Structure 1
Amino acid sequence: MSPTVDHYRIIPSLTVPGYASDMLKGIVRATHAAVQANVDRLGAGTPSRAPKFVKLLRDKNLIDDKNQSIATTNHNEAVSALQDIEASMEDNDEGVDSSTYGTYSVAGDAYDDIEKAVKQLQGTLDDAKKTFEPLNDATTGKQYWPESVEGPLRTACASTAATVEQRMCDAAIDIQRHADHIYNSLPDNPTSGYYGGTTTALTTAWAGHSYVPPADASTIEKIKGFAENELGVTEIGTNHVNRPYNIDDAWCASFATWVWKKSGINVDWSNKNYVPSVWSDAASKGLADSNMASARPGDLIVFAGQNHIGVVVARNGNTITTIEGNSGDAVRQHTYDISSGKFTGVVHPPASSKTAVAV
């Protein structure tokens, strides 16, 4: 990191053993640079402008869409790509106006969360050093870790970066709410924080175009496509949206069941606009499942108290990504830990419409 950068708060360096490969060292350095750049953007009150490190890793085919490390046969190209990414993180950091540090009080809480994530990553790296003895190359005599050790460590770096970026999105929304004096936490108009999740910033209005699924799209792909197409839809007045799922009332259930119907899933709900009815009907039809470990893309997710419902569009380990109507007066995307105890359960599509999905 350039010594000329005046940091909001210093992120302690991440360390790995000297015998770690250049590729692992590269992703550790780049992860540190990315986290530091995010923290400085946070301190300046501009978290939405933070660099997208995880996207760059994906674009360079260093991780997949689940943030899993991808083994590469071209080690030199991977190392070069990581050097370029690290440099771009540092360039972004140098562009932060340090005179604005501390503008928003929300930065402190977010920083604490980020610091915990970094400490956890360092703990993972330290545990690997204690657990896995290096091997010896018979030709060069040099010590090294095999891919079976380094691959998961690269994944841990990507996962930490993804956690930090998600926290930045949450901070961006908190800052906007603070600036506009907007507080939307009523049970019938929930925000992600109400249920212990994180929120992707609502940075653009709805695109205004219709989604037409490809001819060969699976049911799950259709559900994801129809739901994502509505991101950015916002209320006009109270509980009114200029979309087919408008009911001029709390509309989270109307949105979720509309997404299913558009995707070809027709269930005869007694009241498609009322979450308790949807859950009760689902239970009677054998579609309700209170075991959150079974959550998968395409499900409807019912929140604790049965006062909110959303659509599951992705699953990554113990986290799920949802798209929810009437969330902060808009269609928003959220991420939750399924073990948080904040949910009643999920509603699976009927067997005739299920599509196998790896989670």
Structure 2
Amino acid sequence: MSPPIDHYFPLPPLTYPDYASDMLKGIIDATHAAVQANVDNLGAGTPSRAPKFVKLLRDNKIIDDQNQSIATTNHNETVATLKNIEASMEENDAGVDSSTYGAYTVAGDAYEDIEKAVKQLQGTINDAKTTPGPTEDPVTHKIYWPESVEGPLRTACATTAAKVEHRMLDADADIRRHADHIRKSAPDNPTSSGYGGVTAPLTTPWSGHSYIPPADASTIDKIKGFAENELGVTEIGTNHVNRPYNIDDAWCASFATWVWQQSGINVDWSNKNYVPSVWSDAASKGLADSSMSSARPGDLVVFGGQNHIGVVVARNGNTITTIEGNSGDAVRQHTYDLSSGNFTGVIHPPATSNKTPVAV
């Protein structure tokens, strides 16, 4: 048995209408698999990699170039083709990197549009119950709806799939615009020297082990633990790290937000991958502080120009120690003198996040 697929948002199943033929069931199942694969690619920030379901239906003469269902007398062959298409949709879905789910805020809006399209399809299927009764197939003696009923339902499936794929194209364009904005607004691999600090050498590679906080760990201890555990993570290629905060783009903000989230701090940034958005959102929530004298462990530090962000793990007099993602192609530790550093300010965790959790 294949392992279960981790979905971005699991779509509710499309239910079969009474008297649905195997062919209608096949296209309903394949449509659901295709839309789910599109949703999961969307959540991973890779809509361009989603399967092209509508093209497969056209190539196999199941629909025409206007997405209209094509009637066929070779029922069994069409059913087999639809099962193969469904399998290819599920294979694509299984290859989606679920560790990057939620990497792009445009995914949420697009998902709502896709969910609406699926609900409309289910409504169309349900409405078919009011149509004329079924007829008996003279060959198989099974009772089916006539082609006049099933044909439009197959068309509705294809039309829904086409709507979803069109929405994916829009989402892909949105994501590319976000990525371009990030690339133009942030240095590719910032190092502490540009902000007045000292970089600790990477003496050992990443351990490869997961950090498990002690039962009595405070939120601040968790932040330090999760950040320190990532020291030594390095890029493979350009802006790619084999870690959950990978977005295949400038990843300092994604790293910092991930550390907070792992520690139980979930702040709804409008774009967690873009430092100016994080700083602006923090200001609107009353978490941003332009006075570096208030910097303390657990804070996020935003550097001058809002081009880079890191996690504060220690404060010693007038110096802070940070751990930063995407710093010289890696997760690195730095030390800064607050009086000479180049900072925009710090972001404090929400007040409720500073409590020590009770062991259960």
Q: TM-score, normalised by structure 2?
A: 0.49
Higher Rg = 2
